[in-house]
Structure 1
Amino acid sequence: MARPPVLAALAALALTLPLAVAAQSTDALESAAQQAAQGKDYGRAAQLLRQAFEMDRTNPGLLAGAAGYDALGGNGDKALAGLRQAIDAGYLDADGTAADNAFAALRGDARFGALLAQLRQRQQIESKLYDSDALASPYTENLSEDEKVAGLSKFWSEVKYNFVYVDTLKAIDWDRLYLEYLPKVRATRSTAEYYKVLMALCARLQDGHTNVYPGPQLRNTMMAKPLLSTHLVEGRVLVRKVFDPALQARGIVPGTEVLEVDGQPVTEYAMRELAPYASASTPQDLERRIYTYSFLSGPVDVAPRVRFRTAAGKNFETTLRRLTLETYDKAVPDTPPFVFKTLPGNVAYVALNSFGDDRAADAFLAAFDRIAASSALVIDLRNNSGGSSNVGYRVLATLAGQPFQTSRWETRDYRPSYRAWQHTMPNYGEPAPAWPNDAAHAYRKPVAVLISSATYSAAEDFSVAFDAMGRGIIAGEATGGSTGMPLFLRLPGGGIARICTKADTYPDGRKWVGKGIQPSLKVAPTVLDVQADRDTVLEAAVAALKKQI
């Protein structure tokens, strides 16, 4: 999920320029603070975050972060005073503070315990307005009718006042849908069935950053999966990866086509069993969700019967055992956030597979000298579903010769009195902030970025900035077409929902959410490519780069 830049930008620039130059915005200040902390200069890191708070006094978390740096630096008294100042400014994250290892040295200090108690008390009071325990009852096999209606009503009202795409609410008549779904939730006979109804309602919003998620008690009832992955290629569902040797022994290998599931043609199965519950921003996003992420998922104690066709044209049928998500996650190898290799022709290949933490950017900068020795660079985002936009911007900064623009954004600015006065309520927005280039790590050779429908959220923010700076080729297929800042809320029965509160565009205002970032070099894999394990997207990008070398 993406947000306006808040963390991790350019270490070298922030640390080498004078403070007055580096601190052009809270973004640059936070970037400098993070890098100062990595160099164990905790006093300077705390100073930078306090300076950032003076620029944005709506974010008391900056003061709490500064207190954490003071604690890491061994200045316990200053850390406690800073945490107290953060609480007075409106900071509420008691659980996060208690778990933050930055405060480890203070956990035995009675003053720290008293501040945590104060935080929890204030958090409890504040939660009664927006996140009351009364509407977050624990899981039972079948929630009461009152709890079900309350959960529906909470989701409906939070969407009505926070979902950023107001025109969508008007087009689908959100109030009418609420009335339509009231009898549906009342008719459910289990909590699992209730959550499917909520997911179906949410899917009507057609936004990939607005979702309903059942609680952990229902994961094995609704989301267990067999040990393989699939993908829609040229209108056919193909096996892409197999993580169980027993399945391979039965002939299920990459390139095998799925024909039927439980006697239903594969497309009919996906559209009937999966599509109604999938929240997606674009057609390509929906395809990815139902033919890859959710395909063949369901109750752990039910084994779907699947009909396959081999690459040689032989049909066969077998049952597939579903595994709990915990077992599935243990069996499936982790995808590293950063992969680097040198291709023939001295072309550097870098896969940035996740922006979920700083590892991809840290590894890129650590390998920069080897990357810089290449004649051209490919950055592969095809398997990157997002995280923090700032992680990607740290990499982009090495490709820019000057500060570059990131995304414009808007959010709703609801004012009750304006509504009473019948005044218009335009969105609040900010222009695309500039992210500083990394003069200490400068790559000026030809670059290509690879994208697919799985390129999502913060990875799309990367693609927007790369496209806007005109730095190179974008090859592959249109991205998923969704980003934003989700608002999370608890629901009865242990589940949660998230609602997209921020609309992003290109720096010049061009819309891409609901469309996807479009490649300048359109290349899509074919069935034969998958069956031959051939990466035609990478091949096309490398061929185009070699013409520029």
Structure 2
Amino acid sequence: MKKIYCLVLLLSALNYRAAFAQIDTVANIPTEDKLYGLSKFWSEVNANFAYFDHAKVNWDSTYRAYIPKVIATKNTWEYYMLMQRFCALLKDGHTGVGFPEKLLTHKSRYKWIYIENFNKKFIITDIPVQYKDLVPLGSEVVSVNGVPAKEYAEKELIPYISSSTEHVLWNTAAAMMFYGTDSTKLFHLKLKTPQGKVIPYDYQFHTYGTKWVRRNGSTPWKMMDFKVMDGIGYVKLNTFGDEKIDSAFKSIVPQLYACKGVILDIRDNGGGDTGVGAEILKYFTDKKLLVGSAWKTRDNLSSFKAWGYYQSKDTSKKALTAWQKKALDSYKGNYWYQGDTMTFENDVKEKKITTPLIVLTGNNTASAAEDFLIILDGLRGRATTMGQRTFGSTGQPLPISLPGLSDGRICTKRDTYPDGRDFVGVGVIPDIEIARNPSDVIAGTDTVLQAALKEMNKKTK
């Protein structure tokens, strides 16, 4: 059983809230501390990172190139932003540098626009009520400060985002489009309305909040939500980070027996502990052993690395023995410890739920929630998955402390399907894909749930 962080919001939560704190851009840690932080992050990644083949980066030469850049930073904030760029080159959602929380001031600023990504187009999905006639919801951001929006994102946003998958990269870019330290800065936007009219709009942060067209009054977060809709049990599982959710689920099992089908919704589940999710799946199968992901981690064998150095000088082109290959792989940092495939004994004695099962997934289904889907994949035919492909990142992060920053993390564990197929860097693709579209989001229409209810009714006729 593994413990992992919930990683749906991979940068700072500050990037995603209506209220942002001001940033202190004067504070400056010593240059020696900055160089130590860069060097420590480089060395720990060099020894432990699991996805260099995804990153396709020369880590040594990149580190050398960043040394003068770190020396040139004028404050801790610049150092943090540079470290984000350095980290983003690894292209991994479970690897990141920590936000410098000590730089936050007590002053707040509020964003007055919500933008979401739809196929690399940035669409406005909420606006203050005073602008509802000026900026129709569903308008597309065409340009920012005279730069085409896609190009602006590629130059100003994406280089700072650590992501394993393209869809999460662009989702994050939309969410943090105006992220920065200068709350007085004006962003000159050009918008294309749903009717095709191009209009100007100047945007900046404000020192007070606003009333929104759509988002007024937040729904309290729940670990689990349950209701019965037309005889179908709908269970929303929002985390696997707390074992209490297993007890909460067990308490509704008697009601689920009476349902003609069950829908499990993990679209907003950012993960936690793989074993917590496995415990819930045990109620849906008689299979005695649940099989999860296969995994491996890099193994550093110092003596073999030393022997591998001499092996690398051998130009004879003779076939390598197993020992020689182990030495050479160790020298190259490519020798792996193969872990056991994760398995969970189905020790649930209660009657199992045998009615049809549908599981809803989305871009925010991450980490241990993706592990949940890998286990489900092994229960051939037990469930239908519907929605969007998942976050595409899991693993075991190694916490790392860096001067001036909160703890960062480095992904040390490489997970695959039991047969070796990758889902990190891809996302788990549902059986039935249902694309998000702006009009449904703006209208508050849950097309995925509607489609699932329709599909369930077909299965239970």
Q: Report TM bin, short chain.
A: 0.7 to 0.9
SS at match of 2:163: coil
SS at match of 2:259: coil
Name the CA distance, whole Å, in 2 between partners of 1:175 and 1:514. 23
SS at match of 1:295: coil
Residue-by-residue CA offset, 1:9-63 (whole Å, 9 max, x unaligned) = xxxxxxxxxxxxxxxxxxxxxxxxxxxxxxxxxxxxxxxxxxxxxxxxxxxxxxx
How far the C-alpha of 1:544 sits from its partner, in A, is 2.1
Contact 2:52 2:90 in 1 (8 A): no
Label 1:220 to 1:349 Cα distance change in 2 as closer, same or farther (>3 A).
farther
Q: Does 1:407 align with 2:296?
A: no
- Give the alignment partner of residue 386 of structure 2, picking from 475, 480, 487: 475
Amino acid at match of 1:4: K
| The 10-residue stretch of structure 1 (521-530 or 182-191) with the greater mean CA deviation from structure 2 | 521-530
- Give the alignment partner of residue 184 of structure 2, picking from 299, 302, 321: 302
Where does structure 1 differ by over 6 angstroms across 4 or more consecutive aligned residues? none
How far the C-alpha of 1:145 sits from its partner, in A, is 2.0
Contact 1:484 1:501 in 2 (8 A): yes
Name the CA distance, whole Å, in 2 between partners of 1:337 and 1:239. 29
Structure 2 partner of 1:106? none
- Give the alignment partner of residue 130 of structure 2, picking from 234, 243, 249: 249
- Taking the TM superposition and a 5 Å limit, the aligned residue runs for 1:419-438 are 419-422=305-308, 423=327, 424-425=329-330, 426-428=335-337, 429-436=339-346, 438=348
How far the C-alpha of 1:456 sits from its partner, in A, is 1.0
Name the CA distance, whole Å, in 2 between partners of 1:389 and 1:281. 20
Contact 1:224 1:297 in 2 (8 A): no
Name the CA distance, whole Å, in 2 between partners of 1:513 and 1:262. 35
Structure 1 partner of 2:174? 291
Label 1:217 to 1:230 Cα distance change in 2 as closer, same or farther (>3 A).
same
Name the CA distance, whole Å, in 2 between partners of 1:354 and 1:308. 37
Percentage identity across paired residues of the two chains: 34
Residue-by-residue CA offset, 1:274-322 (whole Å, 9 max, x unaligned) = 1000000011121222123x23322263355355555566646243426
Residue-by-residue CA offset, 1:127-169 (whole Å, 9 max, x unaligned) = xxxxxxxxxxxx9812222221111111100100111224357
Name the CA distance, whole Å, in 1 between partners of 2:207 and 2:361. 30
Structure 2 partner of 1:393? 278
Contact 2:240 2:368 in 1 (8 A): yes
Structure 2 partner of 1:199? 84
Q: Does 1:145 align with 2:31?
A: yes
SS at match of 1:480: coil
- Taking the TM superposition and a 5 Å limit, the aligned residue runs for 1:215-254 are 215-219=100-104, 226=111, 229-240=114-125, 247-251=128-132
Structure 1 partner of 2:459? 548
How far the C-alpha of 1:453 sits from its partner, in A, is 1.6
Structure 2 partner of 1:185? 70
Name the CA distance, whole Å, in 2 between partners of 1:301 and 1:360. 40
Name the CA distance, whole Å, in 1 between partners of 2:186 and 2:218. 20
SS at match of 1:161: helix
Name the CA distance, whole Å, in 2 between partners of 1:395 and 1:363. 10
Label 1:167 to 1:518 Cα distance change in 2 as closer, same or farther (>3 A).
same
Structure 1 partner of 2:14? none
SS at match of 1:212: coil
| TM-score, normalisation: structure 2 | 0.79
How far the C-alpha of 1:396 sits from its partner, in A, is 1.3
Amino acid at match of 1:321: F
Q: Where do 5+ consecutive residues of structure 2 fail to align?
A: 5-24, 210-216, 309-326
Structure 2 partner of 1:275? 158
Label 1:468 to 1:218 Cα distance change in 2 as closer, same or farther (>3 A).
farther
Name the CA distance, whole Å, in 2 between partners of 1:310 and 1:362. 48
Name the CA distance, whole Å, in 2 between partners of 1:336 and 1:229. 23
Structure 2 partner of 1:53? none
Contact 2:272 2:367 in 1 (8 A): yes
Structure 1 partner of 2:17? none
Structure 1 partner of 2:414? 503
Label 1:172 to 1:146 Cα distance change in 2 as closer, same or farther (>3 A).
same
How far the C-alpha of 1:521 sits from its partner, in A, is 0.7
Amino acid at match of 1:415: L
Residue-by-residue CA offset, 1:502-539 (whole Å, 9 max, x unaligned) = 11111233221111111111111223322433222222
Name the CA distance, whole Å, in 2 between partners of 1:349 and 1:320. 41
Label 1:211 to 1:296 Cα distance change in 2 as closer, same or farther (>3 A).
same
SS at match of 1:414: coil
Label 1:341 to 1:297 Cα distance change in 2 as closer, same or farther (>3 A).
farther
Residue-by-residue CA offset, 1:85-117 (whole Å, 9 max, x unaligned) = xxxxxxxxxxxxxxxxxxxxxxxxxxxxxxxxx
Amino acid at match of 1:536: T
**More relative contact order, 1 or 2 (CA 8 Å, 6+ apart):** 2
SS at match of 1:420: helix
Name the CA distance, whole Å, in 1 between partners of 2:125 and 2:451. 21
Name the CA distance, whole Å, in 1 between partners of 2:161 and 2:416. 24
Amino acid at match of 1:317: Y
Contact 1:410 1:502 in 2 (8 A): yes
Amino acid at match of 2:307: W
SS at match of 1:365: helix
Contact 1:479 1:516 in 2 (8 A): yes
- Give the alignment partner of residue 208 of structure 1, picking from 88, 93, 96: 93
- Taking the TM superposition and a 5 Å limit, the aligned residue runs for 1:29-428 are 141-168=27-54, 171-219=56-104, 226=111, 229-240=114-125, 247-251=128-132, 255-292=138-175, 294-299=176-181, 301-302=183-184, 304-305=186-187, 306=189, 308=191, 311=194, 315=199, 317-321=201-205, 333-344=219-230, 346-402=231-287, 403-422=289-308, 423=327, 424-425=329-330, 426-428=335-337
Label 1:307 to 1:194 Cα distance change in 2 as closer, same or farther (>3 A).
same
Contact 1:458 1:483 in 2 (8 A): yes
SS at match of 1:196: helix
Structure 1 partner of 2:360? 450
How far the C-alpha of 1:224 sits from its partner, in A, is 6.7
User: How big is the alpha-carbon RMSD for the aligned residues of Structure 1 and Structure 2?
Assistant: 3.0
SS at match of 1:397: helix
Larger fraction in strand: 2
SS at match of 2:375: helix
Name the CA distance, whole Å, in 2 between partners of 1:241 and 1:373. 40
